[in-house]
Amino acid sequence: MKTLKSISQKRLFYAGLVSMIGLATISCESKTEEADIEQNKTIVDTSQIDQIKLTPQQYQSIGIQLGNVKLETVSDEVKANGIVELPPENQATLSLPISGKINYMKGIPGQPVRKGELLATLESFEFIQLQQDYLQNASQLAYQEKELERQRTLSSENVGARKNFEQAQANQRSTKALLQSLEAKLKILGLSTETLNKKGITPAVRIVSSVNGYITAANVNLGKEVAAGQPIFELADKSDMHISLTVFEHDASKIKKDQTVMVQFNDGALPVKAYVLMVGKVLEGETRTLNVHAHIKDRIQEAKLVPGAYVNAKIQTGNREATMVPAASIVRKGATGFIYIEENNKSFRRIPVEIGNAVKEDLVEIISKNKFDNEQLVVKGAYLIDAEFAKRSEPAGE
C-alpha cells in the first residue's frame, strides 16, 4: 500500500510539472507573436511616412491644382507697435509765479488757439504790489540821480564832503538795481514798463496762449483761487507730431535712419508712409526694447493724427530673395506647416516648412532646407490631401 501511494504522488508531481512547462511555452510564444506584431506595426507606420499616392477617383474628387514655388524679391520688414506723440517743445503748460483769483476765462478743452490769444485774467494783490514798487522806485531813482549830480558838482569844487558823494552814488546804484529787478518780474508777467508808465497800475494779469494749437486741459474756472506755479491751461501744437515705435532687441540692429515705415492705424484706413527720424541708443526696461521715432512725410496726413492714438507699423529694412508659395498651398500648424509636391503621376511628397514674415499679394514666404527646381506644388486641395495622409498614417486596427 505504501508503495502504491508513493507511485501516485510521483505521478501527480510529474503531471503538474509538465503543465507548468506547457504554460510557460505558450506564454513565451504569445509574447513573441505580440513582439512580431508590434514590429510589423512599426514598420507599417514608418514606411514612406512623407509620401502618399492617390487613386484616380480621389485625385479627381479633391480637385487638385498644381503650380510652382516662386523666388521673389521682397522687402524685409520689422514689425513694431507704438503711439502718436507730440515732442516736448510742442506741449505747453500755462501757469503764473504769483497767486490770485480767476476773474475772466474763455478757454475749454479742444478749443483752437493762436499764439498771444487771451485765455484768462488773474486778479492779484502781488501783481498790484509789484507795479506799486516799480513806480515808487522809479520816482526815487529820478530824485537820486539828481542828488548824485549835485554831490558830484560839490565834490569837484571841494565844497561838499567826499563821503556825501559816495553815499549818493551808492543809493542811486541800489535803487537802479531794484528797479531793473522789478522790471524783469513785470516782464515775466506780461506787462511792459512802458505800458505801466503810460496807463498806470493794472489789477489783473493777462494769461495768453504761448503756442498755435489747441487747449488740451483747463484746470480753472471763474472765481477760482490759483496758487503760484499751479497749472492753469495745457496746450498742444500739432504742427510737428511723430510716432514713437517699440522694437524688440533681436531686431534692433536692423533699424537705420531714413528707412521707410508703413504705419497702420486702428481706424481701418490704408497704411500711411513715414520714415525713421531717430533711433534710440539704449535698450529700455525689462522688455529690452529700442525706441524708434518715425515721421510722416505727407503734411496733410500728419495733420489728421491724434496724439495718444495707438498704431502698428512695418519698418522696411531692405530687399532680399524669398521662397514664396500661395497661401492656400500651406497646411498650417501654427508658425509651421506642410506643403505637398507631386513627384509623379498622383504621388505626392509632404515637406515640412516654417512660415516666414514676407507677404506679397496672395503669396506667403516659406523657409525650408529643400530646393524647389521646377517642381509641381499643390496649390489647391492641400488640406484634403493632408486629411487623407493622416487617415492612412493611423495604426491598423485603431
pTM of the full structure: 0.61
Say what the pLDDT of residue 136 is. Answer: 96
Rounded to whole angstroms, the maximal C-alpha distance in the chain is 176
Contact 389, 350 (CB under 8 A): yes
Q: Give the pLDDT of residue 7.
A: 43
The CATH architecture assigned to 88-236 reads: Beta Barrel (2.40)
Please state, in angstroms and as integers, the Cα–Cα distance from residue 89 to each residue in 85, 301, 310, following that order. Answer: 12, 21, 21
Q: Which parts of the chain have pLDDT scores under 50? A: 1-8, 10, 12-47, 398
What value does the mean pLDDT of the chain take? 84
The predicted structure's pLDDT at residue 284: 86
The residue type found at 208 is V
Each domain of the chain, given as residue ranges in start order, spans 51-73+321-393, 78-87+239-319, 88-236
H/E run at residue 62:
helix 56-62
Between CA 352 and CA 368 the distance in angstroms is 7
Cα distance between residue 83 and residue 101, in whole Å:
38
Same fold for the pair 51-73+321-393 and 78-87+239-319 = no
Class assignment of domain 78-87+239-319? mainly beta
DSSP structure string for 109-151: TT-EE-TT-EEEEEE-HHHHHHHHHHHHHHHHHHHHHHHHHHH
The CA-to-CA distance between both ends of the chain, in Å, stands at 62
Q: Residue 158: left if φ>0, alpha if ψ -120 to 50, beta else—which one?
A: left
Pick from 315, 271, 309: which is nearest to 293 by CA? 315
CATH class of 51-73+321-393: mainly beta
Residues in CB range of 302: below 8 A, 6 or more apart: 241, 295, 296
Residue 136's alpha-carbon distances to 125, 132, 161, 348, in angstroms, are 16, 6, 29, 103
CA 22 to each of CA 19, 30, 271: distance values in angstroms, whole numbers, following the listed order: 5, 12, 82
